[in-house]
Amino acid sequence: MANVNLGLVRNEPVELEIDGTKRLWDIDDPQLPDWIETGSFSSGGFPYEKKLKREDFEPELEKLQIELVKAQFWMQAKGKRVLALFEGRDAAGKGGTIFATHSYMNPRSARIVALTKPTETEAGQWYYQRYIHHFPTAGEFVMFDRSWYNRAGVEPVMGFCTPEQYETFFRQTPRFEELIVDDGIFFFKFWLDIGRKMQLKRFHDRRHDPLKIWKLSPMDIAALGKWDDYSKKRDRMLKETHTKDAPWTLVRANDKRRARLNVIRHILNTLDYYGKDKDAIGKIDDKILGFGPDFLK
């Protein structure tokens, strides 16, 4: 798609250290550098050389979406509740994965929650309070596009919380999530992981696509040089909040198509709904989806 002048403030070139080499990168340059283009798909140790072909992806996705409709009927009949949160670096594909899951579900009982920064009132409440307000009632399937795990990543990296608040989060979160599961909610935590060069490529794609430019925020630009800090925060988050009650499901997401299929398969495998077609669901790709912090090592 042709680049369009949207009246954006020009971004200054950023010096990045990639694979031990310092490089100056200008995201406003419409030409994507070769060092990003050639290494993006394999970055972060991605296990495949090419993305899944569209002609293989779309029929599989349709079968899974049919199963999701079946699962939703079961949830409504039995009063079951599903809560799924999606976390990951900026441009990891959270929104697209949520959209693929939600597309053909009844919107009256399948909701997406994407909260903005806290209001003054919310900032004065218990940290989890504004999230609890959006939890599912009987028969509902609720997906969080980012969640209370902001306090484990972006907030400490960008200085939006105090060290004390950060430490309190790790004391309280496992107990909080144990209560969610103990109340009978099916609770999923997905971390979508991408390589650094893939993130840069997706940022560049957003910057030069007038239909996607809204996805690129000043916060994304400010975080460009903080990859290592985000990695350390991610590693601690996974280590301290991966529990028996609320395990982390890790998804290698350089290939959006493989990521989406395996996320939906995992959800469907967990729910014991009427008319479940295991052949339609297919098998989890254990190169793409795994559990706990060791999966990314």
DSSP letters for 76-97: HHHT--EEEEEEESTTSSHHHH
What is the predicted pLDDT for the residue at 8? Answer: 60
Beta bridge partners of 187: 83
Euclidean distance between CA atoms 93 and 252, whole angstroms: 10
- Give the span between the Cα atoms of 19 and 173, in whole angstroms: 34
Task: State the DSSP code for 3.
Answer: -
Q: Give Cα separations from 268 to 111, 158, 219, 246, 272 (angstroms).
A: 17, 36, 34, 17, 8
Task: Print pLDDT tens along the chain (297 aa).
Answer: 444 455 566 788 999 999 889 999 999 999 999 999 999 999 999 999 999 999 999 999 999 999 999 999 999 999 999 999 999 999 999 999 999 999 999 999 999 999 999 999 999 999 999 999 999 999 999 999 999 999 999 999 999 999 999 999 999 999 999 999 999 999 999 999 999 999 999 999 999 999 999 999 888 988 899 999 999 999 999 999 999 999 999 999 999 999 999 999 999 999 999 999 999 999 999 999 999 999 998
Neighbouring C-beta atoms of residue 114, cutoff 10 Å: 13
Task: Please give the pLDDT value at position 297.
Answer: 87
> pTM for the full model?
0.96
Q: What pLDDT score was predicted for residue 2?
A: 45
Q: What is the DSSP letter of 44?
A: G
Of 238, 244, 241, nearest to 171 (Cα)? 241
Q: Where are the domains of the chain?
A: 51-191+236-296
**The domain at 51-191+236-296 falls in which architecture?**
3-Layer(aba) Sandwich (3.40)
What is the model's pLDDT at position 9? 67
Instruction: Give the whole-angstrom CA distance, residue 58 versus residue 64.
Output: 10
